[in-house]
């Protein structure tokens, strides 16, 4: 079974990890072009994909078409996130593994199109989102802290949507509130200040009870389903694309459990 960052035949770290001191947007990073890297799965990795095909009940060639390129895509997005951290606005695998998109706060970097040339599906670039994923995460952390610090709240969870730039905070009151007017009053009290980036908005929702705390989780809404990944290849791909596949519709989440 594959044990590394799966599906890249050579030069993995030279593609998606910027050398020390070269992580700022706009700086030139000495990395291999993606078309110099073999994105086809190796024989060992094909065994893993064959297992996935069997689990999903689909032909092997279809499983390869869906899954065989996603490690390369994850390497590209990790690289873009590292080098253009102020501009990178997230990415997703869509159309059941037959397409993808990569977004940016402003203009799409010139090298982005070159980096995806070897990927055998259509990768759409979306510019002008108005926010970066780093800004969304920073705003989520700040808003979550503010709301969870309120004395009338017992538990809080929060998430952001990379497609819309909306941060959603779910708050469980210390005492059960059945009166709609009371719930709305608490919601207004918990509304945080507008994030510095006005393209990001915050929605506070009062809930009766939050489920179990799952700090690093996100809702699966697009791309590969982790439940079919019983192989090491699957685990490697999911680890590589942490926050990518699980954010097919762009959810990054944060939770705090109920106070004792």
Q: Say if 111 falls within a structural domain.
A: yes
Q: How far apart are CA 60 and CA 64, in angstroms?
A: 6
Q: Say if 227 falls within a structural domain.
A: no
Q: Strand pairing of 153-161 and 251-256?
A: antiparallel
Q: Say if 34 falls within a structural domain.
A: yes
Q: Say if 95 falls within a structural domain.
A: yes
H or E stretch covering 172 = strand 166-173
Tens digits of pLDDT across the chain (260 residues): 333 322 322 222 222 223 333 334 444 444 444 445 567 877 887 888 899 999 999 999 999 998 888 888 888 999 999 999 999 999 999 998 899 999 999 999 999 998 898 889 999 999 999 999 999 999 999 999 999 999 999 999 999 999 999 999 999 999 889 899 999 999 999 999 999 999 999 999 999 988 744 332 222 222 222 222 233 344 444 434 433 443 333 445 565 555 54
- Domain count along the chain: 1
Q: How far apart are CA 247 and CA 93, in angstroms?
A: 9
Q: Say if 214 falls within a structural domain.
A: no
Q: Say if 190 falls within a structural domain.
A: no
Q: Say if 41 falls within a structural domain.
A: yes
Q: Say if 62 falls within a structural domain.
A: yes
User: Residue 19 is part of which domain span?
Assistant: 12-130
């Amino acid at each position: 079974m594959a044990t590394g960052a799966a599906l890249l035949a050579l030069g993995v770290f030279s593609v998606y990890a910027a050398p020390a001191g070269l992580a700022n947007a706009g700086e030139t990073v000495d990395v291999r072009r993606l078309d110099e890297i073999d994105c086809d799965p190796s024989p060992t990795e094909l065994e893993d994909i064959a297992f996935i095909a069997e689990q999903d009940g689909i032909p092997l060639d279809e499983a390869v078409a869906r899954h065989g390129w996603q490690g390369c895509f994850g390497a590209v997005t990790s690289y873009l996130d590292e080098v253009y951290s102020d501009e990178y606005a997230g990415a997703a695998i869509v159309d059941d593994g037959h397409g993808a998109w990569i977004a940016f706060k402003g203009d799409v970097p010139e090298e982005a199109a070159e980096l995806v040339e070897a990927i055998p599906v259509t990768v759409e670039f979306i510019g002008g989102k108005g926010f970066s994923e780093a800004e969304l995460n920073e705003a989520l952390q700040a808003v979550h802290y503010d709301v969870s610090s309120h004395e009338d709240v017992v538990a809080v969870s929060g998430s952001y949507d990379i497609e819309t730039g909306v941060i959603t905070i779910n708050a469980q009151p210390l005492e059960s509130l059945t009166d709609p007017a009371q719930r709305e009053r608490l919601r207004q009290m918990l509304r945080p200040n507008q994030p510095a980036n006005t393209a990001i908005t915050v929605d506070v929702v009062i809930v009766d009870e939050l489920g179990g705390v799952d700090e690093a989780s996100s809702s699966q809404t697009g791309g590969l389903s982790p439940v079919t990944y019983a192989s090491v290849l699957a685990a490697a791909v999911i680890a590589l694309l942490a926050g990518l596949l699980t954010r097919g519709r762009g959810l990054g989440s944060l939770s705090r459990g109920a106070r004792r």
